[in-house]
């Protein structure tokens, strides 16, 4: 066993924040979403390897179980924990942005009313928000604000919010307003659109790209509750990453395909 070195405080803080002190094994093997007493595990067994990718917060029970495994037992593997850990990080990030307050459920149309869901306005709003925060171009801001007005939403003052935090703060504010004024499903569509628009920025981390794709697929299936919606989403995501110009075209086509899948 390698001599243990103290994990730098910055890395410890980052792991505790990303995990929200949730154990990824409890979350995905037992369905438990609660704060746990635990420790940070070195997944490769090397106590001196303090790279963040080699670390995961585990509850005391799972930490002891993992450390006590023999090489011949078919216990939990490092790769398995990493997958669950990355899924937990993505789940926590999504919850922060969306702040879901009610279960995902497609509303049923009343007698004589259409059950068609307007995907375009909420997708477009998400794209403009990401475009503004990534490029800081004046035109993007103007289009974003105009779309907010069309939907009857109030935007944050861009001069009073740090640009690095604008996406998270605006995303939370927009989500709350959409839930209050347009319904939960509108907020979920906005979330899907935001994650889709962020995909080009995920290229540097293939692990995060994979978990983000999985989060999009899960949300689409829960939101629209139709295999066809998941089918067109999976097809769209199968060709990401790709060049940015073609990616923009793909988003436009995906919005149309998703609308047809939901309406049809």
pTM strictly above 0.75 = no
Of residues 50 and 109, more confidently modeled: 50
> What distance in Å separates the CA atoms of residue 41 and residue 63, rounded to the nearest whole number?
6
**Segment of 47-56, 155-164, 211-220 carrying the highest mean pLDDT:** 47-56
Q: Mean pLDDT throughout 192-214?
A: 78
Residue 55: band (very low, low, confident or very high) from pLDDT cuts 50, 70, 90: very high
CA distance 175 to 182: 10
Sign of the alpha-carbon dihedral angle for 261, 127, 203, 17: negative
> In the prediction, which pLDDT does 70 show?
57
Closest CA to 198 of 147, 141, 139, 123: 123
pLDDT digit string (tens) for 176-201? 899 888 888 888 899 998 888 888 77
Phi/psi of residue 157, nearest 5 degrees? -75, 120
Check residues 54 and 243 and name the one with the higher pLDDT. Answer: 54
Nearest to 241 by CA among 186, 194, 185, 201: 201
Residue 91 binned pLDDT confidence (cut-offs 50, 70, 90): low
């Amino acid at each position: 066993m390698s001599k243990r070195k103290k994990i730098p405080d910055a890395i410890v803080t980052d792991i505790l924040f990303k995990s929200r002190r949730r154990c990824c094994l409890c979350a995905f093997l037992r369905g438990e979403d609660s704060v746990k007493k635990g420790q940070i595990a070195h997944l490769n067994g090397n106590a001196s390897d303090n790279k963040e990718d080699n670390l995961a917060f585990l509850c005391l029970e799972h930490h002891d179980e993992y450390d006590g495994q023999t090489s011949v037992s078919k216990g939990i593997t490092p790769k398995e924990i990493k997958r669950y850990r990355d899924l937990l990080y993505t789940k926590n990030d999504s919850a922060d942005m969306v702040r879901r307050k009610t279960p995902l459920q497609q509303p049923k149309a009343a007698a004589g009313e259409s059950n068609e869901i307007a995907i375009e306005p909420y997708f477009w709003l998400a794209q403009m928000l990401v475009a503004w925060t990534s490029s800081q171009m004046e035109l993007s801001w103007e289009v974003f604000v105009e779309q907010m007005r069309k939907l009857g939403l109030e935007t944050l003052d861009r001069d009073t919010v740090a640009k690095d935090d604008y996406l998270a703060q605006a995303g939370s504010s927009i989500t709350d307003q959409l839930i209050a004024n347009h319904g939960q499903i509108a907020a979920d569509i906005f979330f899907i659109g935001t994650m889709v628009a962020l995909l080009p920025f995920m290229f540097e981390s293939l692990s995060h790209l994979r978990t983000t794709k999985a989060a999009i697929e899960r949300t689409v299936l829960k939101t629209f509750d139709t295999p066809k919606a998941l089918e067109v989403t999976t097809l769209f995501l199968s060709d990401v990453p790709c060049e940015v110009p073609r990616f923009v075209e793909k988003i436009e086509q995906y919005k149309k395909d998703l609308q047809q899948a939901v309406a049809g």
